Amino acid sequence: MQLEDNYSKKKQCSSFFLTNGPLLSHQIPSRTSGNRIYYRNECLKGLIKTLLKKRSSSTANDVKLHHNNAKPHMNAIVFIYLKQEKIKVMAHPPYSFDFAPSDLSLFNCLKHSLDTYPDATNLAKALFKEHNSIPIQEYQKTFQKWIEGMRLWHVQTNSSSPQSEIKKLPNFLIIVADDLGWSDLSPFGGEISTPNLQMLADSGIRFTDFHTASACSPTRAMLMSGTDHHIAGVGQMTEVMQFQPEFWQGKAGYEGYLNNRVAALPEILQDAGYFTTMSGKWHLGMNPSQIPAQRGFDDSFALLPGAGNHYNYEISIPIFPQVYVRNSIYIDQNTLKNFYSTDYFADELIESLKRNAMKTKAPFFAYLPFTAPHWPLQAPADVIVKYKGLYSSGPFALRKARLENQQRLGLLPLNISLPPDDTDEEGWNQLTHDEKAYSAKTMEIFAAMVERVDYAVGRVVNYLKESKQFENTFILFMSDNGASGNTLTNVPISSPSQPGKYFNNNYENIGNKDSFIAYDPRWAHASSAPGRMFKGYITEGGIRCPAIIHCPRLKSPLKVSHEFTTVMDILPTILELANVPHPGTTFRNRTVVTPRGKSWIPYLRKPKKNKHVHSDHDFIGWELFAQRAIRRGKYKAILMPSKGNTSQWELYDLSRDKGELNNLAHKEENVLKELIEAWYAYEAETGVILPEDTWSIRFPTEIALHRLIVFHGFVLNSYIENQCVEF
């Protein structure tokens, strides 16, 4: 520890606090460098020697050392020595900053008592007695912060101690659905059976104005970092960048994975002592240095790329890489038996939580990102049959029915209008009876996938209830973007290995493991109601997503929130609930950015006093596939790419026009001018890179990725004709 006041020169000392034992301190002689060698030889070795004398056995097994991030403590020499002594190194607890009073604080099996030094003053006096040349005030201020953190951290370890009355730290469960539309769930007006999510919504809060990016990996980057995806490393989809690398190669923010400029949420919570676990889709890096185990997860089972066969039905092609990983080990996918993605991911998460509960009482951060209902549309037959005939009236009737349900539930105003469907109703009516039946069945399969997600959520929730953790767990359910309107049914799958022969997309077989389909854009429009367009578009249908939180300890008066929120807000919200500060600009010996998102907690607890999460002066921007948008308060401006870059900015009042029907660009010119200026500021702040010909990177609708088919997450060049919608 280094302390300095305005009147004396800097003093250096190392102080250790033993469980139910005395304060041990070592003052570093003047003109001596307190480097890693000195720290190991003169500080740690003496500590271990003292410790062993006090123990009945001659081993230091089960001893855990909590330390801060000072460079001498993080050096490999120190870690190697501690490993040799069989001592486990733990991250410093909440509020124990780099200037904490203990450069290294020693706790036996996490059982720490403050009885000997019950307050900051007494603890300061104890250390002052050892080093009386340093003013006691310097210690007292620092100790106060340290004790606050330790009381929070060890509140459950000593029920008889005064700090036991403080509430234990909350657990966190973040659940992400893949390509789920705003209106698909029953709490948001959908007809699909989702009783478990309905329960969470009824006893929690529904968010009607929650926003993400328009595609999956950028959203996940913002979720993990609390900042814009152009800063976090996924400025553009990796699957797009590899076909036009000249635009982005080597540019900061376009690394194609979650970069080290951000402190990832699981990393921060891991350093605060949380057990961090995930099971599901990662899509933030494929290489060993980019996988979940390297970004803060203590335990992980992950599908690394953006999509996969839900039954793990794979083509035997040698060039396929291993795309599943368990912790740091890449898995042979053939070893995954009885696999259905939604069920398997839930199983893995529950087992991880059970294993951890047997080892420690540490709070957990659990991340459950499903791959459903992302294409290929596949679901158990006994679930699909429940929806037989339900969608025979077509997507337009479904869209209208869902809008009426949303209005009945108070999610939307009664005077709202639906945007026109670019695929037009006449096209649906021109289909033959068999074509309509085939299309309706794709929607039946989609609905079955959503129901199965709900069933998996229910299983995780039941585990939390059975283990008496439900009431202390903050649960967030969300989608990563709008519904997917990409037509795969007519895409010829061809490659040198001819994988097309492996699929059977006949009416009777679709939904099974050897089918490969998606529903068409008409159903995506229904799923996104009342939004305009769907996934891949910067319009509301692509970025406005369902979100539900359940957290009894918040005691929020809200049942439905119409407040504008973003996925970037989740990190600061969780950190505030966990009483864990963001590390600022330095984390794990690297420079990081601070979050752009804002905590929901003040608003959720006192919405009458704190009316907004983002003020009317805050600007929030979007860019993906060269589509641009900027929002301030109720106004949103968008710019879509066009051939020859001839498109103009559009302006919408989302408080009255959630379908983005009434362009106010010529009526509210001053508002639009301010928003355009804000866009350029956003572009500069986040490092957005746009090619001269923005039309060249527009989002393709025939396939979800530019001129690609993703089969089990691995890219097969299909050389199909690229068909794109005219904006």
Nearest to 300 by CA among 345, 234, 261: 345
pLDDT at 675: 98
pLDDT at 428: 85
Q: Residue 103: is its pLDDT beyond 90?
A: no
Residue whose tokens read 């907004």: 612
Q: Residue 416: is its pLDDT beyond 80?
A: no
Q: Which of 68, 171, 405, 481 is catalytic?
A: 481
Q: Residue 455: is its pLDDT beyond 80?
A: yes
Nearest to 77 by CA among 26, 43, 51, 54: 43
Q: Which of 230, 281, 525, 598 is catalytic?
A: 281
Alpha carbon distance 77, 594 (integer Å) = 31
430 versus 492: which is more confidently predicted? Answer: 430
603 versus 12: which is more confidently predicted? Answer: 603
292-306 residue pLDDT tens: 999 999 999 999 999
Q: Residue 148: is its pLDDT beyond 70?
A: no
Q: Which of 151, 154, 178, 405 is catalytic?
A: 178
Nearest to 132 by CA among 16, 30, 11: 11
pLDDT confidence tier of residue 263, bands split at 50, 70 and 90: very high
Alpha carbon distance 700, 698 (integer Å) = 6
Q: Residue 498: is its pLDDT beyond 50?
A: no
CB 377 within 8 A of CB 446: yes
Q: Residue 612: is its pLDDT beyond 70?
A: yes
In one-letter notation, the amino acid at residue 264 is A
627-650 residue pLDDT tens: 999 999 999 999 998 876 778 999
CB 277 within 8 A of CB 345: no
Active site residue 354: no
pLDDT confidence tier of residue 120, bands split at 50, 70 and 90: low
Alpha carbon distance 29, 11 (integer Å) = 9
pLDDT at 67: 53
4-32 residue pLDDT tens: 333 344 456 666 655 444 555 556 666 66
Which domains are assigned to the chain? 2-165 (3.30.420), 172-312+320-708 (3.40.720.10)
Dig out the tokens for 503 from the structure: 């699929």
pLDDT at 724: 35
Active site residue 178: yes
pLDDT at 143: 57
pLDDT at 238: 85
239-248, 405-414, 421-430: the lowest-pLDDT one: 421-430
150-154, 158-162, 385-389: the lowest-pLDDT one: 158-162
Q: How many Cβ atoms from other residues are within 10 Å of residue 496's Cβ?
A: 9
Contacts of 606 by beta carbon, 8 Å cutoff, 6+ apart: none
Dig out the tokens for 163 from the structure: 């700090």
pLDDT at 616: 85
Alpha carbon distance 296, 304 (integer Å) = 15
pLDDT at 71: 47
pLDDT confidence tier of residue 85, bands split at 50, 70 and 90: confident
Q: Quick one: average pLDDT of 94-99?
A: 37
Active site residue 509: no
Q: Residue 49: is its pLDDT beyond 60?
A: yes
Q: Which of 480, 520, 569, 657 is catalytic?
A: 480
Active site residue 209: no
pLDDT confidence tier of residue 36, bands split at 50, 70 and 90: low
Q: Residue 723: is its pLDDT beyond 50?
A: no
238 versus 124: which is more confidently predicted? Answer: 238
pLDDT at 213: 98
Active site residue 179: yes
157-190 residue pLDDT tens: 333 333 333 358 999 999 999 999 999 999 999 9
pLDDT at 317: 58
Active site residue 454: no
The DSSP output letter for 338 is S
pLDDT at 360: 86
pLDDT at 312: 92
Active site residue 281: yes
348 versus 698: which is more confidently predicted? Answer: 348
Q: Which of 36, 67, 206, 374 is catalytic?
A: 374
Nearest to 660 by CA among 389, 422, 484, 380: 422
Q: How many Cβ atoms from other residues are within 10 Å of residue 302's Cβ?
A: 26
- The residues that bridge with 281 in the sheet, in sequence order, are 303
Please give the share of the chain, as a percent, with pLDDT higher than 90: 59
User: What is the full DSSP assignment across 497-522?
Assistant: T-GGGG----TTTTTSTT------HH
Residue whose tokens read 């300890």: 553
Half-sphere exposure of 650 (CA within 13 A, CB side): 20
User: What is the full DSSP assignment across 256-287?
Assistant: SS--TTS--HHHHHHHTT-EEEEEEE--S--S
Q: Which of 40, 154, 206, 283 is catalytic?
A: 283
Alpha carbon distance 619, 84 (integer Å) = 53
Active site residue 220: yes
Contacts of 18 by beta carbon, 8 Å cutoff, 6+ apart: 24, 51, 54, 106, 108
446-450, 502-506, 614-618: the lowest-pLDDT one: 502-506
Dig out the tokens for 565 from the structure: 């929120």
Helix, coil or strand: residue 312: coil
Q: Residue 315: is its pLDDT beyond 70?
A: no
Give the pTM. 0.77
Helix, coil or strand: residue 424: coil
Active site residue 283: yes
Q: Which of 535, 544, 632, 658 is catalytic?
A: 535
Highest mean pLDDT: which of 183-192, 354-363, 510-519? 183-192
pLDDT at 334: 86
Active site residue 13: no
Residue-level length of the chain: 727
Q: Quick one: average pLDDT of 84-102?
A: 49
Residue whose tokens read 């019950």: 118
Q: Residue 710: is its pLDDT beyond 50?
A: no
Q: Residue 115: is its pLDDT beyond 80?
A: no
Alpha carbon distance 324, 346 (integer Å) = 15
pLDDT at 403: 93
642-678 residue pLDDT tens: 876 778 999 999 999 999 999 999 999 999 999 999 9
Backbone angles phi, psi at 364, to 5 degrees: -120, 155
pLDDT at 598: 97
pLDDT at 126: 61
306-310, 502-506, 545-549, 589-593: the lowest-pLDDT one: 502-506
